Amino acid sequence: MKPIAAITLLFSCLLINIAHAAPNPVKGEELFKQCAACHAIGDGAAHTVGPTLNHVFGRTAGSAPGYETFSPAMRAKGEEESLNWDEKSLYIFLAGPARYVPGTTMGFKGLRREQEIKDLLSYLITFSPAYEAESGAAASTEAIKASTLPVITPDDETEDPAFTDEYLADATAVASGGELWVQCRHCHGSSAYPGKAPKLTPARYKPDFVFNRITNGFRKMPAWKSTFTLEERKSLVAYILSQKFSP
């Protein structure tokens, strides 16, 4: 085989392997940080801004026991179109929520890469243990009650961090927090759905107050302790209280 032909064949094989990379739930867990602003999962999770995503596979769109604030558009998707969430429908939805359910109040714009969606779904499905993969069928109430959900283990912290003027002015910390803030904008950003969460007024806040809200949540705002590391939450404080903050 000629060298050029061999290189072409090798490159083609690499492209095929990349295109068909197996879904990675570990990467999906990282991607879920973008969802955690509104959705909780795991044993003991409760509804927050959005419904818990436990047992979402096989669930009728616009329904979740105990959650009453679905948009009319989402309820119609389930009641009038009989949409059940499965691998295909969730894939389409995560690629563009507003395109799939026009009128949804979900502020997330969607994931752009096919592999990211597959990774996220491979993580989420572990929280639907009663669902039979690829079946598209709803699990029975009895099967759901008998199933065991994964436990999300929060970081072990013994005390709140001290925020010095030097840290709050640190360019690296501020830049890191700015990257994480993208996930917070779904609710707190200037373009977020009206009424979803208050817009921030950093000039009124102390570092400890911001850190406590991020870590432990407040009312419908979820606790981010199990989503962001201690350093990530500290960097978010630095960004929110910096001159670079932009809602």
Amino acid 154: pLDDT: 61
pLDDT band at 78; cut points 50, 70, 90: very high
Average pLDDT over residues 95-117: 93
pLDDT of 93 > 90? The answer is: yes
pLDDT of 7 > 90? The answer is: no
pLDDT band at 116; cut points 50, 70, 90: very high
Average pLDDT over residues 29-56: 90
Contact call for residues 168 and 207 (beta carbons, < 8 A) = yes
Which range of 21-25, 29-33, 115-119 scores highest in mean pLDDT? It is 115-119
pLDDT band at 37; cut points 50, 70, 90: confident
| C-alpha span between 119 and 28 (Å, rounded) | 4
Produce one character per residue of 58-89: b if its CB has 16 or more CB atoms within 10 Å, e if not. bbebbebeeeeebeebbebbbeeeebbbbbeb
| C-alpha span between 77 and 88 (Å, rounded) | 15
**Mean per-residue pLDDT over the chain, rounded:** 85
> What domains are defined for the chain?
20-146 (1.10.760.10), 165-240 (1.10.760.10)
Contact call for residues 188 and 197 (beta carbons, < 8 A) = yes
* φ/ψ of residue 16, rounded to 5: -65, -45
Q: Report the range of poorest mean pLDDT among 67-81, 159-173, 216-230.
A: 216-230
Render pLDDT for 141-200 as a digit per residue (tens, 0 to 9): 999 999 999 988 665 555 678 899 999 999 999 999 999 988 887 778 776 665 567 778
Q: Exposed, middle or buried by CB within 10 Å (0-12, 13-18, 19+), for 30? A: middle
| C-alpha span between 233 and 144 (Å, rounded) | 34
Handedness of CA 53, 54, 57, 58 (dihedral sign): negative
Amino acid 142: pLDDT: 94
Average pLDDT over residues 25-33: 89
Amino acid 165: pLDDT: 93
pLDDT band at 215; cut points 50, 70, 90: confident
